Chain A
């Protein structure tokens, strides 16, 4: 059981002796093997939520727990995919993927098989000995996802992972992520700016208010996806063409626009 539970989480930044609240009380439970996306205006603290689940930042009050244990430090059971990839430039593709397993102390033979498998799944065959700077952005992000997935983490934390990619690569990566999630479902917390992406990928979409961030609404996508049989469609554009998809997307857009309007006044 590897759920994520935010309980009464607030976060206050201190700067020049003044206090800036960035998160105003988040209560959210991501179930085991559920895919939850968070969308919200810039600076609403959605990335802070993810970083707190990762153990890279900590709440001012409240708790974040993964699998029932309060998060106190970063660890391989909570794998992060960063927006800017954060690959090790001095390690080959293979060694980047291998590093986390090596740190866990896994024996060599088992590591080899798992790395080969994930390289196959992510379409990285032939690039094993390449260095990150020799790869395109899309390929680098594949490596970063492979590096996280190979650890078979309890939860996968993805911080705008496709934000730095061009539109076409982004679409391909979104489809691959869905494929990967079908083969090997994980608990996923996914931060994004893109409403389309959130609706396409997630079981539930959390819409946040502007700073200090709070939850405006949680939109259930999974029940619509099941009822409308979105998985009949292989391609992302066909899913996005469904009336039910457009309806959900518009609903989330309106919630976000409402935040924008508040911002303008």
Chain B
């Protein structure tokens, strides 16, 4: 199938779904709009949150709040996670030292950190960043570690024969060799970050998309719930797309 065709089919599917949604909520009201909103309700909710605001702030503020939390947690987790993964993958000593701790932490679901995060850091942003960090950290470490371990032994031998050592070896051999796996890890980390953010904000926050969802649930406001969901999806999707662009730019040798 030509790429143009599959794109056209994709658009057609979305348009059809929207049409059916409008049809069964408005023209033939088989769906109870008190439980699932009609397009007009979602539009009204969107207008309200954009113009007057909802849950103490306008949409852009909620989006900015959530995005900053995700980016902070994600960036910290990636920096620490990739560094640890490289160390554990390369050095048996680092692996012996760090792996037991990591194996102990790994099966704990990220959301189980929420109570401890609140006790340590209160209900503010820091606690949420910590929870996001815990969620995003694990895939970054595991995939980086796998990437280093999957290195061809001959590449390692060639680089030591050529005299590569220290920071140059890490920068020009270890990291690029593990890069495809590292980016897989980062994509999973980013997904985990958004999942965890929404849960962390549901517990309590001043602003944020999770807080919008929380308020809308309490107000039994299906239109606003849908707006919250859609924007979480849009933000996550946008960041994933940016990461994909960075990935292609970072690994030109993988293209074509």
Contacts and interface: CB of A to CB of B under 8 A. Distances in A.
A255 to B, nearest CB: 31
Given A99-B172, A131-B253, A133-B253, A86 B155 contact: yes
A113 interface: no
Interface residues of B, number: 21
A100 B168 CA distance: 11
Interface residues of A, number: 26
B158 A103 contact: no
Contacts of B179: 90
A84 B161 contact: no
A233 to B, nearest CB: 34
B168 A103 contact: yes
Nearest to B162: A100
Contacts of B32: none
Given A90-B179, A90-B253, A104 B161 contact: no
A90 B163 contact: no
Given A88-B155, A88-B173, A99 B161 contact: no
Given A99-B172, A131-B253, A133-B253, A86 B164 contact: no
B47 interface: no
Nearest to A83: B154
Nearest to B157: A56
Contact of B163 (A84, A100, A147): A100
B160 interface: yes
A84 B176 contact: no
A76 B157 contact: no
B78 interface: no
Interface string B134-178: 000000000000000000101101111111110010001100110
A78 interface: yes
- With a 10 A CB-CB cut-off, give which of B154, B158, B161, B164 has the most chain A CB atoms: B161
A99 to B, nearest CB: 6
Name which of B158, B173, B176 has the most chain A CB atoms within 10 A of its CB.
Answer: B158
9 contacts: A54-B161, A78-B161, A80-B161, A88-B158, A91-B176, A100-B163, A103-B162, A104-B163, A151-B162
